[in-house]
Structure 1
């Protein structure tokens, strides 16, 4: 009988310990659950591709004309590209290609940036949206680049694009430069617009049918390219005569921001790089890159 009483006592003590242990564990269990619920989701991409291997060989040959006439060893060096210096290739990686041909120089710069938020309340995608918005604002797109019905204040770039976006660079397809000397052919074409400081007006005067083709070549937002995208186009005078044009396409896909820069500098100083060709090829490359991320 004493033995039974002792057994009952031991069982009661064991039950009490089990009950205490359960109540003591419940706060830690609820805390991790609360943190998990409040943590923002990570971005879709955890790594970046090798930038120097991101462009197919056939595309490189198209973007870098004149390489077909180079010796094999020189071609291989051009197509290999040169990696840009970065301190963390998991967060940022880039590559450059350049070809020098009798007709001129072409170069490509590709940059991948993977955005990571260290704030548990802000997702990687939201953080990437903010980084992309700053790049778009820095491009200072003209008001005409905004989607229909959207005011300048509603754009991440803010207001005043039409004035400030064309003051420091030349962007029209025929190479007329703000504060500079246009080509002799441009002088004849733009005589009636000499009193106008609006690049868009100069563009429309060059088009004999309507202003829309010229307008379509202005720096602008792009549709159906990643989650957000824009295009910039700048004609720069290097030195006293040489001019080069750089078309930049920047897009965001989830938490990765991709920048494509495509530059052309003709061998003849009287020749102006063609916006239409450069823009089409830069956009085609950007679309290829978006598709490769989705594969």
Structure 2
């Protein structure tokens, strides 16, 4: 990536952030993280209390890109075929035809994903990782680009099914919106007549441009010292005594892809150790599996990640060549 390309990337990224920010007020940092995941590319899990704007953020992100979007309301009686699609025998043609499910879209909003049974949740695993669905032994490619934005409520656990670690690992980031600040709350209340702000958003970028930005972000320079820093952090998550299972190589690869996009979004054609520090928690915390004794003692993944970032020395800054 050249300096000129980095400036174009940063300006385009800022336009996307402003567009989504019209629907999700006062949450520019979370919006930037979601868009970073989109361009990495990867999927996002939004975990927060009801009424914080999780669905609005997902809809606004989809509306910003000129592509198709679907919404799946996960319930205990939802079947895997309700997500992926089903093969039906057509008597008129005497052939079996595949009828696509809602997962065949550029943006899939999986609302309250933890309310579906584990069998239905597992139907999302293949499509999230490989971008295809296999039904009756036949693979069907989904749209490109493809992104799943899932939501779940951490407060009410009655009738819910905890996402298994294998599925959590498919999400590039796990984010939380939180409640808006006072100024944003006043602005939201003043526009109470507008129930869905995302419905007024228009696309700011075409689908092919998303793919172009993704390929461009892949050319961001990552110094071998920064890669070694990521590898060292990954190893430390596995060696921590409170952690039963640390970050996988998939998680490390996801972090590298994410920091490349983050650097380009900030107008740089190279990654710095600060980029890694800023995104490590968002990309890795949901991948930690803590020992039961540590959880009982109140140890959190955030505390472990903070300690690792403090103890592992970051590579020294060096002069970057344009």
Normalised-by-shorter TM-score class: under 0.3
Q: What TM-score, normalized to structure 2?
A: 0.23
**Bigger proportion of residues as helix:** 2
Higher Rg: 1
- Structure of greater relative contact order (alpha carbons < 8 Å, 6+ residues apart): 2
